[in-house]
C-alpha cells in the first residue's frame, strides 16, 4: 500500500480542488505589466520546462478507506516541458498566478508504505511509476514587496485530472513478479480515480512548499 500512496505522490500534487479558470478576473492584470513583472513571468516559464524533483518526505495516514503512512524518496515528476499555459505577475495586487496543462504527467519514486486498506493490513517498499492524464494545475502565490525584495506569504495549488494509473514493484515483501502485488495493482488501477481523489489531498501541503521554494529562487533573481 505504501507503494500505492507513493505513486499518488508522484502524481504530485493531486486531488487538489477544482482548477480555477485562468479567465478569472481575480488574475486579470490590466496592461502588459512592468518590466519586473514580465521578468518574473519569463523566469517561471523557464523553470517549469524542467522536471521537478521532490525531496524525501512522509505523509501520515488519512481517514478514508486507505489509511497508509507513506515515506517517499527521490520523487521525479516529468512531462512539464512546454506545459505552462499562463503566467501572470501583478505586484501591485500582490499576486503571481500560473496554470499548466499536461496530457500525460509521469512520476517515478521510491516508496515505503504501511497501513490499512478496507481494514486489511497492507505494506511494502520498492519503486513506483504513476501516470496521470489530462492534468491541469493552477498555482497562486500571495506576495509582498519590501525594500525592493519580493516575498511569498502564501501559496495555493489546485489540481485536476481525467484519469491515471500506477505500477508498484512490490507489496508485502514480495520479489518480482510476485502474486499479490500485481493483483492489488490491478484492483487499484480499476478504481484509480477514487484512489487518487482520496490519497492525493495529503500531498497538497508538501507540493505547495516545494513550489514556494522554486518561486522564491526565481524572485531572488529579479
Task: Please report the pLDDT score of residue 45 as a whole number.
Answer: 80
Torsions phi, psi of 160, nearest 5? -140, 155
Task: Please report the pLDDT score of residue 17 as a whole number.
Answer: 31
Could you give the residue ranges of the DSSP H alpha helices within the chain?
Answer: 2-10, 35-47, 180-190, 192-199, 204-219
Mutual angle of helices 192-199 and 180-190, in 10-degree steps: 90
Q: What is the mean pLDDT of the chain?
A: 77
> Would you state the cell numbers that stand for residue 196, as one nine-digit string?
487518487
Q: Which of 126, 136, 123 is nearest to 85 (CA)?
A: 136
With contact defined as beta carbons under 8 Å apart, do 167 and 129 qualify? Answer: yes
CATH number of the domain encompassing residue 173: 3.15.10.30
pLDDT at 216 > cutoff 90 = no
Percentage of the chain surpassing pLDDT 90?
9
Each residue of 139-191: pLDDT tens digit? 999 999 887 888 999 999 998 888 889 898 888 988 766 788 888 888 888 88
Number of domains in the chain: 1
Range of the domain at 119: 2-219
Which run of H or of E encompasses 40?
helix 35-47
Each residue of 185-196: pLDDT tens digit? 888 888 888 888
Task: Please report the pLDDT score of residue 129 as a whole number.
Answer: 92
Chain centroid to Cα 4, Å, comes to 15
Task: Please report the pLDDT score of residue 25 as a whole number.
Answer: 41
Task: Please report the pLDDT score of residue 141 as a whole number.
Answer: 92
Task: Please report the pLDDT score of residue 28 as a whole number.
Answer: 52
Q: Which residue has the higher pLDDT, 55 or 1?
A: 55
Rounded CA-CA distance 106/80 in Å is 9
Each residue of 27-50: pLDDT tens digit? 555 566 788 888 888 888 877 666
Each residue of 57-114: pLDDT tens digit? 787 766 677 788 888 888 888 776 677 788 898 988 999 998 888 888 888 889 999 9
Task: Please report the pLDDT score of residue 19 as a whole number.
Answer: 34
Q: Which of 145, 45, 32 is nearest to 92 (CA)?
A: 145
Q: Which residue has the higher pLDDT, 204 or 64?
A: 204
Amino acid at each position: 500500500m505504501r507503494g500505492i500512496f507513493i505513486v499518488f505522490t508522484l502524481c504530485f500534487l493531486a486531488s487538489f480542488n477544482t482548477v480555477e479558470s485562468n479567465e478569472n478576473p481575480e488574475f486579470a492584470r490590466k496592461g502588459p505589466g512592468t518590466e519586473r513583472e514580465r521578468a518574473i513571468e519569463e523566469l517561471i516559464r523557464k523553470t517549469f520546462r524542467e522536471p521537478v524533483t521532490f525531496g524525501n518526505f512522509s505523509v501520515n495516514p488519512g481517514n478514508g478507506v486507505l489509511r497508509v503512512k507513506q515515506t517517499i524518496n527521490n520523487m521525479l515528476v516529468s512531462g512539464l516541458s512546454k506545459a505552462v499555459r499562463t503566467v501572470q505577475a501583478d505586484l501591485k495586487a500582490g499576486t503571481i498566478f500560473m496554470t499548466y496543462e499536461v496530457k500525460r504527467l509521469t512520476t517515478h519514486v521510491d516508496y515505503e508504505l504501511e497501513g490499512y486498506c478496507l481494514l486489511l493490513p497492507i505494506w511494502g517498499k520498492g519503486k513506483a511509476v504513476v501516470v496521470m492524464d489530462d492534468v491541469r494545475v493552477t498555482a497562486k502565490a500571495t506576495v509582498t514587496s519590501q525594500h525592493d525584495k519580493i516575498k511569498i506569504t502564501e501559496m495555493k495549488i489546485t489540481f485536476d485530472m481525467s484519469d491515471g494509473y500506477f505500477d508498484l514493484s512490490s507489496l508485502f515483501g514480495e520479489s518480482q513478479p510476485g502474486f499479490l502485488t500485481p493483483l492489488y495493482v490491478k484492483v487499484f488501477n480499476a478504481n484509480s480515480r477514487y484512489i487518487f481523489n482520496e490519497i492525493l489531498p495529503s500531498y497538497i501541503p508538501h507540493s505547495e512548499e516545494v513550489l514556494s521554494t522554486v518561486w522564491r529562487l526565481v524572485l531572488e533573481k529579479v
